[in-house]
Amino acid sequence: MHFNILQLNKPRGGQIAWGLIFLISAFHALYAFYMGSVELLSIFGLVTDAKLRAVPIVFVVHALAGGIALLVGPLQFNRRLLQSKRSLHHLLGKLYIVSIWLASIGAFWSALFFDVTVVSKIGFFLLAILWFSTTTIAYNRIRHRQVKAHREWMIRSFALSFFFVTFNIWVPGLAGTSLPSEISYPLAVFLSWSLNLLVAEIWIRRTQLKSVPLILRRAAA
């Protein structure tokens, strides 16, 4: 049985699903890079029509680091990369972890100054804390050679990284309903990460391995 983030009975189906997730993540990563770059140019006075941000420099760090996490995250679950490029897997893993540390701290700090309701702020705070925590636990697990636990916490971590994708779906989706914005927006915040975690937990339960493939054991070495 091969290992990847979508471990299906048919390897081709898993490859297609992984490819779709990578493309979606890469698209949103490029968008995050764009927003961070525009804000950075605005700070230096090179752009005058940038969107007003609560804490501009923190937003730049958050956007660029979050974009890296979205771009690198799916690569950590690529079976071929795990099998053939162990050193690259280690390097990308470290890059993913550091980028999330920066992005989650930036998200927490920025949320302090967001012009949103208290409930929405709480949703962002919880997301930032969980994002930082799940990633740190995944890092600690692999340091102690606990490969199976590392895999599970990495899935949770990436599910939270995927917040940027689902958030851009839930916000306009709920805004188009009859719910007032005071309810629809915080609801979108909570649904965007809590449902991601729920899907991650279901997937972990479905794909729990009785034995970890040898290549993953080697990757932990």
Alpha-carbon distances of 130 from 94, 101, 140, rounded to whole Å? 18, 11, 15
**Percent of the chain scoring above 70 in pLDDT:** 88
For residue 132, give the H/E element and its range: helix 118-143
Could you report the per-residue pLDDT of 136-165, keeping only the tens digit for each?
Answer: 999 999 999 999 999 999 999 999 999 999
103: CB partners within 8 A, 6+ apart:
61, 62, 65, 66, 69, 131
Mean pLDDT of 179-196: 96
Domain boundaries, the chain: 11-219
